[in-house]
Amino acid sequence: MSSTDQPRRDVILDVRDLTVSYRATKAVDRVSLHINRGEIFGLLGPNGAGKTSTLSAIEGLLKPGSGTVLVDGVDVQRHPAQAKSKMGVQLQATSFQGQLSIRQIVQLYAGLYGIELSDGQITEGLSTIGLGHESPKLFKQLSGGQQQRLSLFIAVIHDPVLLLLDEPTSGLDPQSRRQLWSRIEHLRDEGSSILLTTHSMEEAQAVCDRVAIIDHGTVLANGAPGDLIDQHRDDPLVRQAARGAVTLEDVFIGLTGSEIRD
């Protein structure tokens, strides 16, 4: 179903015919996708497929050659400050100040967003992500999983309607990855809309309500993971990639090829 078929009040992110070019290279070629309220949407693609350029255009960091991006009905190019206030972003590489304590980081970013939090509210919030007893620790003393949980907490501190996650579980051990999955699903269940990029097809199949597979700047497939598996399970290239029952990763390889991308 296209974005124009969806009730506007239920569409939190509406990307229409987005094009991004770097000189003669077209990194994003008329990409259209939408994310509904309370939905986890995965953007999947090999290295160089156009994911980062698409994400940068959605964030308003990159001016597209054509097309529009609407966040909760607000045009990112025409009203960038208003659109950005509706978004929370968690980058793959967390860059918080290593010499600050967890509590100081929360206080800093709450202040930047104009949010007033009491010490009790900060303690309660950190307790919900399992860091209630770690608040005096410096950021650099946290494990990778703890850093990612704090980063996600900061990304939603201003209650954004759209959360952008760039490979949120990259480099985490299985336990930390599953904990972060649960946190992301909880945010979805509370009404947040989430766009995440990931190279983990297991992750996409486990937590995403819908996914889009992009390559060479073009969306090749879009739908619920189970539906994409059903639609492509008999494709010869997918069958060739499969080692047993067809998975989303087999569909991904069948559509984008098995060549290694740098």
Per DSSP, the residues of 96-146 read --TTSBHHHHHHHHHHHTT----HHHHHHHHHHTT-TT-TTSBGGGS-HHH
Mean pLDDT in residue range 23-43: 94
Beta bridge partners of 109: none
Predicted TM-score of the model (pTM) = 0.90
Q: Name the 3-class secondary structure at 246.
A: coil
**74 C-beta neighbours (distance < 10 Å), count:** 18
Q: Residues with Cβ < 8 Å from 168, sequence gap 6 or more?
A: 90, 92, 148, 152, 180, 184, 196, 198
CA-CA distances (angstroms) from residue 148 to 82, 92, 143, 171? 26, 9, 9, 10
Domain-located, residue 79:
yes
Mean pLDDT in residue range 23-52: 94
**What amino acid occupies position 7?**
P
Q: What is the mean pLDDT of the chain?
A: 91
Mean pLDDT in residue range 158-167: 94
Domain extent at residue 211 = 3-86+160-256
Count up the domains in the chain and report the number: 1
Domain-located, residue 131:
no
- Would you place residue 8 in the very low, low, confident or very high pLDDT band (cuts 50, 70, 90)? low
Please tell me the distance from the alpha carbon of residue 58 to that of residue 112, in angstroms, as a whole number.
Answer: 21
Strand 66-71 with 11-22, pairing: antiparallel
CB distance 30 to 18 below 8 Å = yes
Please tell me the distance from the alpha carbon of residue 59 to that of residue 66, in angstroms, as a whole number.
Answer: 15
Domain-located, residue 120:
no
Domain-located, residue 27:
yes
Domain-located, residue 128:
no
Q: Residues with Cβ < 8 Å from 174, sequence gap 6 or more?
A: none
Domain-located, residue 164:
yes
Please tell me the distance from the alpha carbon of residue 197 to that of residue 59, in angstroms, as a whole number.
Answer: 14
pLDDT per residue as tens digits for the range 41-74: 999 999 889 999 999 999 999 999 999 999 999 9
CATH code, domain with 185: 3.40.50.300
Residue 29, classified by CB atoms within 10 Å of its CB into exposed (0-12), middle (13-18) or buried (19+), is middle
Domain-located, residue 167:
yes
Domain-located, residue 175:
yes
- Would you place residue 1 in the very low, low, confident or very high pLDDT band (cuts 50, 70, 90)? very low
pLDDT per residue as tens digits for the range 87-144: 999 876 566 887 899 999 999 999 988 899 998 999 999 998 889 888 889 988 988 8
Please identify which residue in the block is written with the tokens 């766009």: 195
Give how far the C-alpha of residue 95 lies from the chain's centroid of Cα atoms, to the nearest Å: 17
Please tell me the distance from the alpha carbon of residue 87 to that of residue 13, in angstroms, as a whole number.
Answer: 10
Please tell me the distance from the alpha carbon of residue 221 to that of residue 133, in angstroms, as a whole number.
Answer: 44
pLDDT at residue 4 tops 70: no
- Would you place residue 9 in the very low, low, confident or very high pLDDT band (cuts 50, 70, 90)? low
